[in-house]
Amino acid sequence: MSKNTYIRNDFFATPIFKFKNENLAKKLNQFILEKNINGIESNIANELKHNLSESNFNFFSTKDTIINESKNFIASCLKDVLNDIQNEDCDYKISFNESWFHIGSKNSTHNVHMHANCSWCGIFYLQTDQINNGGSTVFNSPIKTNYYDFGSFQLSETDVSIIPEDGLLVFFPSYLQHYQDLYKGDKDRIVVGFNCRVLEKVNVET
């Protein structure tokens, strides 16, 4: 078989980043459990959410110590994400333009959606029933095809499932469609979600 000279470039890779902080998750979870929430308080896309309670989208707006600690940790992680992607060592001014929490009971789901008006999104899993009880976040591949044969099947990315773990923090670009699959656990599935804008580079280390 002949070998021709060629140049290969791989484009359209999509990064998803994971961090872990179980201690912070426990403290934030306790803070949420002390809240009195009923139904979808945000009143946004109610038809997509089943057996879920959802706060308003300003969860990070208070000055509680645990909120400040959570914002600082999440912002520091997002800075690591940006520096890794852009191969640099910078500080950034980050805005949490939306933030909320979900409490999902048994058989909860959140249908396919994506987040607007932000560049990066995140999910912080605080409490789950972690033994094969579903509730994964499934990211739909942004690469689509309408025809499959022996030449195309390896180019068609499959969907990616993130299995929830207590203390797991996941970052993903806002263009990714995603959903929560059926949660079958007896313990409530509690997560914090947020949307970020990166407003500016504060400084560049040389």
Q: Which domains does the chain have, with CATH numbers?
A: 17-204 (2.60.120.620)
Give the number of C-alpha atoms closer than 13 A to the C-alpha of residue 43, restricted to the C-beta side. 0
CA dihedral 136, 141, 142, 147 (to 10 degrees): -150
**Distance in angstroms (rounded) separating the CA atoms of residues 128 and 168:** 11
Q: Which residues pair with 198 in a beta bridge?
A: 94
pLDDT in tens, 91-105: 999 999 999 999 999
- What pLDDT is attached to residue 8? 87
Q: Which two tokens stand for residue 160?
A: 């990616």
Q: What is the reported pLDDT for 202?
A: 81
End-to-end Cα distance, the chain: 49
Query: Per-residue pLDDT for the chain (206 aa), expressed as one digit of tens each?
Result: 668 998 988 888 899 999 999 999 999 999 999 998 989 999 999 999 999 999 999 999 999 999 999 999 999 999 999 999 999 999 999 999 999 999 999 999 999 999 999 999 999 999 998 778 999 999 998 888 777 887 777 776 788 999 999 999 999 999 999 999 999 999 999 999 999 999 999 876 55
Instruction: Count Cβ atoms within 10 A of the Cβ of residue 126 and give its class: 0-12 exposed, 13-18 middle, 19 or more buried.
Output: buried
Query: What is residue 1's predicted lDDT score, i.e. its pLDDT?
Result: 66
Name the percent of the chain in helix, strand, coil, to the closest 5.
20, 35, 40
In a 10 Å sphere around its CB, with 0-12 CB exposed, 13-18 middle and 19+ buried, how is residue 143 labelled? exposed
**Per-residue pLDDT at 11:** 84
